[in-house]
Amino acid sequence: MFLKDYIGTVVKSTKSLLKGMKLTGHYFIHQEKILTEEYPDNRDTLVMFDRFKGEVTMPHDENNEHRCTGCQACEIACPNGTIKIITKQELQPDGKKKKALDTFVYHLELCTLCNMCISACPSDAIKMGQTFEHSVYDKRQLKKSLNKPGSKLMEGVE
Ligand code: SF4
Ligand code: SF4
């Protein structure tokens, strides 16, 4: 009786295993029929939806120019000290000095992606990026400078 039950269980399990393997084999051969996408296999083609908030970024144009005046409105709006705006004085053609952005320091490890800094910016200088692979072994790597080296303020932005 025991042996009969045992053999029955083995046969049943083997049938179930073969059924699963048949399905796996079918989709392995006919990959065009796969309906679901799995990360990270689709990493190269994955496009996040428009409203996704990955991290605060500062767009630069092809001339390495950004729209940040260094006004600090984003720093003031941020509820948890994620942003530190370091400014400098730049000499203007008329000989006067004007405040300008030196470094936009952004602590991704503190950011809650609340969007308040972006809403507060009067120059439309920052926006949410769609990146989301932020894991690092050393959290110091999450401290970023959003303005690129050598970049400057776009002409016409006050
Ligand atoms: S998204 Fe929110 S938490 Fe992050 S830097 Fe902007 S204001 Fe601060
Ligand atoms: S990002 Fe916007 S709000 Fe922040 S310092 Fe630059 S111009 Fe001002």
pLDDT tens digits, 77-96: 999 999 999 999 999 888 89
* Backbone φ and ψ of 130, nearest 5°: -105, 10
Beta-carbon-side half-sphere exposure of residue 21 (alpha carbons within 13 Å): 6
Second CATH level (architecture) for the domain 55-153: 2-Layer Sandwich (3.30)
What is the distance in A from the centroid of ligand 1 to the CA of 111?
Answer: 5
Tokens standing for 75?
């720093």
Q: Is the CB–ligand 1 distance for residue 113 below 6 Å?
A: yes
Angle at 121 between CA 119 and CA 125, to 5 degrees: 115
What is the distance in A from the centroid of ligand 1 to the CA of 17?
Answer: 50
Helix (H, G, I), strand (E, B) or coil at 8: helix
Q: Which ligand is nearest to the CA of 77?
A: 1
Which residues lie closer than 8 Å to 107 by C-beta, 6 or more apart? Answer: 81, 82, 83, 84, 142, 143, 144
Q: Is the CB–ligand 2 distance for residue 118 below 6 Å?
A: no
Averaged pLDDT score across all residues of the chain: 93
Q: Give domain limits for the chain.
A: 2-33, 55-153
Decide if pLDDT at 147 tops 90.
Answer: yes
What is the distance in A from the centroid of ligand 2 to the CA of 58?
Answer: 10
